[in-house]
Amino acid sequence: MPLKQLQELAEQIPNKNPQVIVDKFLEPQLHFIGEIKKASPSKGLIAQDFPYLQIAEDYQKAGVDAISVLTEPDYFQGDLQYLQEISKVTRTPLLRKDFTIDSYMIYQAKIAGASLILLIVAILSDDQLNEYLNLAHQLGLAAIVEVHNPNELQRALKVRASIIGVNNRNLQDFTVDLNNSINLRSLVPKDIPFIAESGIKTVADIKRLKDAQVNGVLIGETFMRAPDKEKLITKFKSV
């Protein structure tokens, strides 16, 4: 579909207020983003059976604060159609999880029913970050700006990211270290939601991150492999 047509479609959809999501993540308790993904570059195929609509309903029932939906086809076996269909069965805010590299994908995200997009500092210039953040807010979308190290974090703060996500996975060798989130937490002002991503598996992990005063956690593989997602989320929430 041509960009102009996409823009016209996006304009027909009423804007939400992205600040509502930001404020939600700043509320005192630990917030949970449940991820729906079939595969990943580090783990290969995660879910042979992939009832994504049922998973979305399970997450909603468990009371997650947002649902992350992989739409990237090559590495994660995702599909934009998953997001479109899930948006019809849940009221929970949806994150389009993908490598956002142009404005076209942001318009797509809105039309498909997303409330949030992901902007990865490592793959974008400062000009792109600025442009895509502004476009997202114009379209009523919140944006999680993902960083991996102090340098990327400073770039995210410079463009006034309204939500910071810290990936605990080293994208070069796929090793995971929760200390990445814990060490970077003090560098982010308390009025910007701080989301820890990747490698969160146990009650002990949740406790460590909660003690470090992160605002939220994004959990993918651990929830995807759980036979009873609602039970595990309830357990994590009780920490």
- 97 classed as catalytic: yes
Neighbours of 186 (CB within 10 A): 8
Torsion of CA 226, 194, 208, 65, to 10 degrees: -30
Select which of 40, 87, 162, 167 is catalytic: 167
Select which of 68, 87, 168, 197 is catalytic: 197
- 146 classed as catalytic: yes
What's the burial of 16, exposed, middle or buried (CB within 10 Å: 0-12/13-18/19+)? middle
Give me the residues paired with residue 40 across strands.
44
CB contact at 8 A, 152 and 161: no
Select which of 87, 115, 168, 198 is catalytic: 198
Q: Tokens standing for 223?
A: 């929830």
- 230 classed as catalytic: no
| N-terminal to C-terminal alpha carbon distance within the chain | 46
> CA 190, CA 213: separation in Å to the nearest integer?
9
CB contact at 8 A, 174 and 198: no
Closest CA to 200 of 183, 184, 216: 216
CB contact at 8 A, 162 and 22: yes
Select which of 38, 68, 97, 162 is catalytic: 97
- 37 classed as catalytic: yes
Select which of 146, 152, 162, 215 is catalytic: 146
> Catalytic residue positions?
35, 37, 97, 146, 167, 197-198
